[in-house]
Amino acid sequence: MRLYQGDYDRMTVYNADPVAQAQQFIDAGAKYLHVVDLDGAKDDTTANLQTIAAIAKLGGLKIEVGGGIRDEARIKRYLDLGADRCILGTVAVKNFDFTAEMAQKYGAQIAVGVDMKDGAVAVNGWKEVTPEPGVAFCRRCANAGVKAIIATDISRDGTMQGTNMALYRALKEKNIPFVFINGSYPQLSDCVQVVMDDHAGGELAARTLLDRGFTRIGGIFKRDDRQGHERFRGVCDGLAQSGKSLPDDQVCWFGTESRGTLFQEEDTCRLMEEIAGGKGPEAIVCYNDEVALGLCAALRERGCKVPRDVSIISFDNSAFAGLAHPALTTLNHPKDDFGALAAQKLLHMIAGEREESAVLPWSLVERESLGQA
């Protein structure tokens, strides 16, 4: 579920069965799971203990648990259940000496959750705001030996309004090292970022389709993030290099909040009907694998087959891309190398070394969803 700005009265439930949801994450290839007991955070209870135990028993996930952990007995209980790390929140503020002691005793098995509202630390399920600035508290935790800090900006949490740039400027002003991963922010261009070259990825997708002989090309892109627009521009520029274009009426846009209804939207339905009637694009570039898989399913319902009726190419090379029928042709996101490079840069910065941003290239993984014109 999701809270809007930490408000328990403004809650969105996505799945009433957390264990089933965790299994879906495992099936999708997830290796790490962040679990928050919202009841524990608010009321200092362990009402969800058995649910968390059931998730741990699924296996295949490294799990960190937070919410209502305010004594060592509860830390031990969660670790004994199979959690890999416990997150201390309210107790970290109200009993800092205890938190420092637990950090020394359990090392990397302890993290501190710093929830900030208007720049200050909030506790007790975000119901109480303390006078201490969040950035200063993060520094205090680090100095006490805390190995990991998970910071949440409550004013933005659940709002889908993007990143709080003021928070990162404050971190930079206090010389607290950080690295942006998979997110590029022009407003903070002087900060270290590890990103994919989405524009070049779009160009690669376009060239791949042109090399297969496709001339009528469409696309589905995300309107409310920079990646979506960069991938779109890359496809357009890649086509333009060969004198081709991406017609406006062959492109569909969607937002974060409309992902679940994308294939019921008027523009998307029109595009699929044109494909079914043999008048639509011969190939489609999808924003990511999730969109591509949804498109394949929606086309099947209309009697269309991929790649017989339309070819599909997407981005990310997620765990499901190779398991789909047909398996997706997609651009590979080198996740392991990506994370390792970001961690390396951060360690260098902690050691006082200067680091520069890095842009990584996409590579093509050809599978069954891409045919020949």
Q: pLDDT tens across 311-362, in order?
A: 999 999 998 899 889 999 999 999 889 999 999 999 999 889 999 999 999 9
- Write down the number of H helices and E strands in the chain: 13, 18
* Mean per-residue pLDDT, 81-107: 94
Q: 150 CB contacts (<8 Å, ≥6 apart)?
A: 34, 66, 87, 111, 112, 113, 114
Kindly state the average pLDDT of the residues 209-238.
95
The per-residue pLDDT for 1 is 45
Predicted pLDDT at 205? 98
Longest dimension (CA), the chain: 70
Backbone φ, ψ for residue 111 (5° rounding): -125, 160
Q: What share of the chain is helix, strand, coil (3-state, %, to 5)?
A: 40, 20, 35
User: How many CA atoms does the CB half-sphere of 82 hold within 13 Å?
Assistant: 18
Lowest model confidence (mean pLDDT) among 133-142, 177-186, 292-301, 335-344: 177-186
Give the closest residue to 70 by CA, choosing from 50, 42, 51: 42
Q: Name the band, by pLDDT with cuts 50, 70 and 90, for residue 175.
A: confident
Distance (Å, whole) CA 123 – CA 108: 22
Distance CA 43, CA 90 (A): 11
CA-based radius of gyration for the chain: 23
Do 63 and 83 meet the contact criterion of CB atoms below 8 Å apart? yes
CA–CA dist 211, 209 (Å, integer): 5
Q: Is the pLDDT of residue 94 over 80?
A: yes
Whether 171 shows a pLDDT value over 80: the answer reads: no
Confidence of residue 226 (pLDDT cuts 50, 70, 90): confident
Strands 120-123 and 128-133: antiparallel
- Cα angle for residues 124, 129, 134 (degrees, 5° grid): 105
Question: Residue 176 — very low, low, confident or very high, per pLDDT cuts 50/70/90?
Answer: confident
Query: Poorest-confidence range of 87-96, 140-149, 156-165, 330-339?
Result: 156-165
What DSSP character marks residue 28?
T
Q: Which pLDDT score, from 0 to 100, does residue 29 have?
A: 80
- Residues β-bridged to residue 11: 3
Domains and CATH numbers, the chain: 2-176 (3.20.20.70), 178-373 (3.40.50.2300)
Q: Write down the pLDDT at residue 124.
A: 73
Chain-centroid distance of CA 145 in Å reads 28
Q: Pinpoint the alpha helices (H) of the chain.
A: 18-27, 38-43, 49-58, 72-81, 90-94, 96-106, 134-143, 165-173, 198-211, 226-240, 266-276, 289-301, 335-350
In whole angstroms, give the CA distance from residue 39 to residue 238: 51
The mean pLDDT of the chain is 88
Q: Amino acid identity, residue 265?
A: E
CA 46 to the chain's CA centroid = 28
pLDDT for res 172: 78
Looking at 6-20, 160-174, 210-224, which range is the least confident one?
6-20
Query: What's the token pair of residue 42?
Result: 């608010």
pLDDT in tens, 23-57: 988 887 888 899 988 876 565 666 788 899 999 99
pTM of the full structure: 0.74
283, 311 contact by CB (below 8 A): yes
Range ranked top by mean pLDDT from 46-55, 175-184, 295-304? 295-304
Contact 281, 310 (CB under 8 A): yes
How far does Cα 209 stand from its chain's mean position?
28
Mean pLDDT throughout 157-180? 73
